[in-house]
A and B are shown apart, each in its own frame.
Chain A
């Protein structure tokens, strides 16, 4: 009996302890049938939502507006580094009590702006350095007043203590002066000149020091330099200069289009040239091309605008700080040129080569020119491409990051149910990429063809076709999915019967991804 009691107590105690303290996650296998992703692929997904518009008749057009900022190379304004260099010496020996002025000097420095005759300049970033060397064995007080520089009407000045020299070493002070956003009046002390910067330097024996004995061998050297100057705005006569510039601008609309071809039926193309400079500009477009860098294919614009002088009159200043310039705009319709050929290569960049001459007729503005350095000359290309086209082995690719971080899937399949309402058939494949972006597995083993929608006699898709693609999840595929974190999706698109079709809003591909999984809980 006692043994029975002991056994009972022991069993109860062990069971209770086991249940309360050692609860672990159980596991079993289930068969799960669950939707995973629902998505719809439409024209906006292919060309980018911001690049497509729906026309009143519900057809799609791709709209591309590409701005190309020109005259960016080189600085229009160059400044000499050194603004002033003053060496102060006394011809005789003087005894100067504390607080008494040693010397005061006005300094008017002409600046070289490469033929510009500027009255006013402003820099987004302007840093001056102020160097003082003192050989006098007494502490000095130096004041530097830059009369030309003002911010909200307050002239810039700085006072600096200069320590006394010793028997063996001179004393030095270096100070950085921040003149960001300061207006720099370049008209000189009498306001009747240009390119002049005006400053006053004053030196005292320091009021806190002793009486100084200054000999002719003593000196105070004060140097001011522009350490950094990024011009933002200038006014005056900005000179007559010729610029040659060749540049490029990236075009992202066809980034996913890798190879094959498509044939566009018509493209409406407008080129605007905007002059934001307050001076006359004569522009010659030497070259305007599109280029697909992966194949080095380039097509140049063939239009009378190429090589002809485009004379732009000067822009005007507004008083609106947000939009300070009324540009002068010239518009050219290029629709009857070879722009369709330029686009059919699926370009990824626009290339331009221009020659521009500022003030070709000289100082006709009588010193009223202006320039905002961040916006000078802009070409704006406006393309409107009705999606009425045929495709032949057009290959679209894109990468997608994914994470198959799921240890619970034992086997099964991922079924992709597609309803295609495009007038194009699509051969699709999902490639798994390794860390070096090399393909090491593809997901669709059997069928990977998505037939086009059913097209009626009028060329419209009258009904979708339904296709099921299956990704078998065997041990090997699960291991490759876990290894990879990037997927390359490649679609080979062909027009049904190689005909030309117009794309409408209802043309899309409905995609449902369903997991049919043996899942370990």
Chain B
């Protein structure tokens, strides 16, 4: 219900932005029709989940997760498709709009080096229970592991592209073609999966449809795949009034090397303990080999080895900005990420311009790896050619641990 209200608010504001065109003077929304050269650096770290920040901080700082914390977070979960994700995108870009390029006056080019890291899980509340409370509470019962997903990958990108500006219609559009250099990939998904624990623990039964694809090394410092991708964008600016941008980033693929493994089976696995032919020859160590180890070994031994091709997480973004007063801007963002557990993301921001060179304002968002959050955005022009932009969606999560999400965006624009 809360989400529906928020969505309605965003739609109303977005439509208002477009319909009510007013003339406002503000440099922040002007496209640069003059020739320019610039370097942009940005890095964004985004960690979120339906689990709250107290839990996430305990998890990441190695603190003890007590029963109260487990119980509180269990109540926040849905039965299925609970996300937990980390994404980190760091980008260094050079853009130039020369006086002429290939005989054209409105064509520029860009070169980008970008690093992308995703660590994502989508889990059921039963999976949370199994992991945090153990399987004893499921003795004689099924635990639902349906639609579970892991999506971990990291890759570098070298991009280059062209962009075009149209002075009369205040619009810009462009594209970039990317060479993707894959570091690692691991994707796991289950369908119709349940885990049954026998009432006295004599056996544990796991059944369902499982897919597991991974590269031979799960390390970020390897090169194990290569691929390509494309970025597209289109933006229009009603001078000094509104700004709309639609973009598609990282629509591409990676072809992983022939040491990758692929497991795809409908299984009915029963773990009865380690089969020992002679009771007088016990396994050593006695209690470290668990059902989990057996399942992992089973998957490894039943996988096919060879090349795999995967899509990269790809962002579709629709953003709009509008000045409701000379020094107050309202902006919205909708982000849908393909090939990811990232939920549709909505954000609305209100920026107060203290001067042409400085703004600060709150934002409120919903979606992504988490639910509602309140954040803050800040931009300042430190010198005439140096702009610093800082944003976080998770000020609420930082200040109030019952919220969820940790992350920030840092952007630097340097005009040459």
Contacts and interface: CB of A to CB of B under 8 A. Distances in A.
Interface stretch (A30-38, A178-186, A363-371, A373-381): A30-38
B285 A30 contact: no
Interface stretch (B28-36, B155-163, B273-281): B273-281
Contacts of B291: 34-35
Interface string B51-68: 000000011111111100
Given A33-B134, A409-B287, A516-B136, A417 B202 contact: yes
Contact of A31 (B134, B288, B399, B407): B134
A319 interface: no
A173 B9 CA distance: 110
A16 interface: yes
Interface secondary structure of A, over-half rule: strand
Contacts of A401: 282, 284
B132 A35 contact: no
Interface stretch (A5-13, A84-92, A451-459): A5-13
Contacts of B284: 401-403
Interface in A22-40: 22-28, 30-39
B282 to A, nearest CB: 5
A406 B288 contact: yes
Given A8-B376, A16-B45, A405-B288, A35 B283 contact: no
A237 B197 CA distance: 78
B324 interface: no
Interface string B375-393: 0101000000000001010
A417 B273 contact: no
Interface string A387-406: 00000000000111111111
A12 B408 contact: yes
B193 to A, nearest CB: 18
Contacts of A16: 45, 406-408
Contact of B279 (A9, A409, A489, A516): A489
A26 B273 contact: no
Given A34-B290, A35-B272, A24 B62 contact: yes
A33 B135 contact: yes
B201 A516 contact: yes
A26 B392 contact: no
Contacts of B19: none
Contact of B134 (A24, A25, A45, A519): A519
Contacts of B178: none
B398 interface: yes
B133 interface: yes
A22 B47 CA distance: 15
Nearest to A481: B286
Contacts of A23: 60, 62
B201 A39 contact: no
Contacts of B408: 12-13, 15-16
A36 B286 contact: yes
Contact of B65 (A19, A26, A403, A417): A26
Contacts of B378: 5, 8-9
Most buried by A among B65, B136, B139: B136
Contact of B63 (A5, A26, A41, A400): A26
A30 B290 CA distance: 14
Interface secondary structure of B, over-half rule: mixed
A276 to B, nearest CB: 37
Given A39-B277, A400-B280, A415-B201, A15 B406 contact: yes
Contacts of A19: 45, 47, 60, 406
A76 interface: no
B137 interface: yes
Contacts of A406: 285-288
Interface string B66-107: 100010000000000000000010000000000000000000
A1 B398 contact: no
Contact of A34 (B61, B204, B275, B360): B204
Given A19-B60, A38-B273, A403-B285, A32 B136 contact: yes
A37 B134 contact: no
A12 B287 contact: no
Contacts of B131: 30, 521
Contact of B136 (A15, A22, A31, A398): A31
A305 interface: no
A18 to B, nearest CB: 7
Most buried by B among A9, A22, A39, A521: A39
Interface stretch (A204-212, A245-253, A507-515): A507-515
Most buried by B among A28, A32, A399, A516: A28
B135 A34 contact: yes
A51 to B, nearest CB: 14
B200 interface: yes
A32 B134 contact: yes
B127 interface: no
B298 interface: no
How big is the A interface, by class?
Answer: 35 or more
Interface string B112-151: 0000000000000000000111111101000000000000
B234 interface: no
B206 interface: no
A20 interface: yes
Given A12-B408, A514-B200, A516-B201, A403 B278 contact: no
B254 interface: no
B203 interface: yes
B37 to A, nearest CB: 28
A53 B29 CA distance: 91
Given A16-B45, A39-B278, A28 B390 contact: no
Nearest to B271: A35
A406 B290 CA distance: 12
Given A18-B61, A23-B60, A24-B61, A45 B279 contact: yes
Interface in A480-496: 487, 489
B395 interface: yes
Interface string B219-230: 000000000000
Nearest to B270: A35
Interface in B245-288: 271-288
Most buried by A among B60, B275, B279: B279
Nearest to A515: B287
B397 to A, nearest CB: 9
Contacts of B133: 30-31
A11 B285 contact: no
A1 B61 contact: no
B60 A45 contact: no
B273 A514 contact: yes
B183 to A, nearest CB: 16
B62 A28 contact: no
Nearest to B140: A33
Given A12-B398, A409-B287, A35 B282 contact: no
Interface in B194-245: 197, 200-204
A35 B59 contact: no
B275 A26 contact: no
B63 to A, nearest CB: 6
B320 to A, nearest CB: 25
A265 to B, nearest CB: 27
B273 A11 contact: no
A4 B407 CA distance: 17
25 contacts: A5-B360, A11-B399, A12-B390, A12-B408, A26-B60, A26-B65, A28-B66, A33-B139, A34-B201, A34-B290, A35-B272, A36-B273, A36-B274, A36-B287, A45-B280, A402-B284, A409-B287, A415-B200, A487-B282, A489-B279, A514-B202, A514-B273, A515-B287, A516-B201, A517-B287
What 7 A-B pairs come out closest when comparing CB atoms? A24-B62, A30-B134, A35-B273, A33-B201, A31-B136, A28-B65, A12-B408
Given A9-B390, A34-B201, A398-B280, 18 more contacts: A5-B360, A9-B378, A11-B395, A12-B392, A19-B45, A22-B60, A25-B62, A27-B63, A30-B134, A31-B135, A32-B134, A33-B200, A35-B204, A39-B278, A403-B286, A405-B288, A406-B287, A513-B273
